[in-house]
Amino acid sequence: MIRVTIVDDHILVREGIRTICSKTQDIRVMHDFSGWDTLSEHLTVLDTTDVLILDISLARIDGIQILNELKEQRKNHPPVLFLTLHSEKDFAQSAFRAGAKGYVTKDAESSLIIEAIRIVSAGGYYISDEGSRHVIGDGDSMLPAQDDLSILSAQEHEVLNMICKGMTGKEIAFELNINEKTVWTYKGRIMKKLGFETTVELIRFGLRNGL
């Protein structure tokens, strides 16, 4: 069972997500809070949370600030999925720079929200189509050119493609019939060849090149 905690200052949004999740066999909303004031008083619930859904625009302390607070206060916090009204480039890029694992706009279909929760809970990254256009927008002028994909081997290219689809290391290993440790070896080689230091940079590059 994937256990979800929601932080959103609109009760209708919290109830809506709870209802959507209740229709699945594997996802349940265990806790919901209106903001940092209430969440900070119950941080122990994060010990049993598999995905933390945060709204970016919250009163007093926004979602990105909450994520930064969690990084300072808790060494092991659950992966964060941002669910937001904002599709603007700056919001999406700031979310991933802060360490988010997923970004979905509130106008997304409920099936996409469920998909995002499952992928993020399994250790993958999820970016909705709308969000990806902003994450890979104007700020990517320093990323390697598309031709640089040619420096990757066929297997490395396939691994990169699967990473960009949000697949976990275990899923990639199963699909390619290789050891999970080998997957991370491939990933390390890819990042070294392309000159990246973070997975987010790698995903942005892959999405920009149609992977």
pLDDT digits (tens, 9 = 90+) for 41-93: 999 999 999 999 999 888 778 888 899 889 888 878 899 999 887 655 557 77
Phi/psi for 23 (5° steps) reads -85, -5
- Residue 43 has a pLDDT of 93
Q: Rounded to an integer, what distance in angstroms lies between the CA atom of residue 123 and that of residue 75?
A: 16
Cβ neighbours for 153, distance < 8 A, ≥ 6 positions apart: none
Topology of the domain comprising 2-135: Rossmann fold (3.40.50)
Pairing of strands 102-105, 126-127: parallel
Regions in the chain scoring below 50 on pLDDT: 133-147
Side-by-side strand order, sheet with 80-84 = 27-33, 2-7, 51-54, 80-84, 102-105, 126-127
Cβ neighbours for 111, distance < 8 A, ≥ 6 positions apart: none
Phi/psi for 197 (5° steps) reads -115, -20
CA-nearest of 87, 75, 121 to 101 is 121
Q: What is the DSSP letter of 123?
A: T
Phi/psi for 209 (5° steps) reads -100, 20
CA-nearest of 100, 31, 19, 86 to 58 is 86
Cβ neighbours for 187, distance < 8 A, ≥ 6 positions apart: 159, 163, 169, 202
- Residue 210 has a pLDDT of 67
Q: Rounded to an integer, what distance in angstroms lies between the CA atom of residue 99 and that of residue 120?
A: 12
- Residue 25 has a pLDDT of 94
Phi/psi for 174 (5° steps) reads -65, -45
Q: Rounded to an integer, what distance in angstroms lies between the CA atom of residue 176 and that of residue 67?
A: 34
Topology of the domain comprising 141-208: Arc Repressor Mutant, subunit A (1.10.10)
Domain residue spans of the chain: 2-135, 141-208
Q: Rounded to an integer, what distance in angstroms lies between the CA atom of residue 143 and that of residue 66?
A: 29
- Residue 27 has a pLDDT of 97
- Residue 88 has a pLDDT of 52
Say how many C-beta atoms besides its own lie within 10 A of residue 191's C-beta: 17
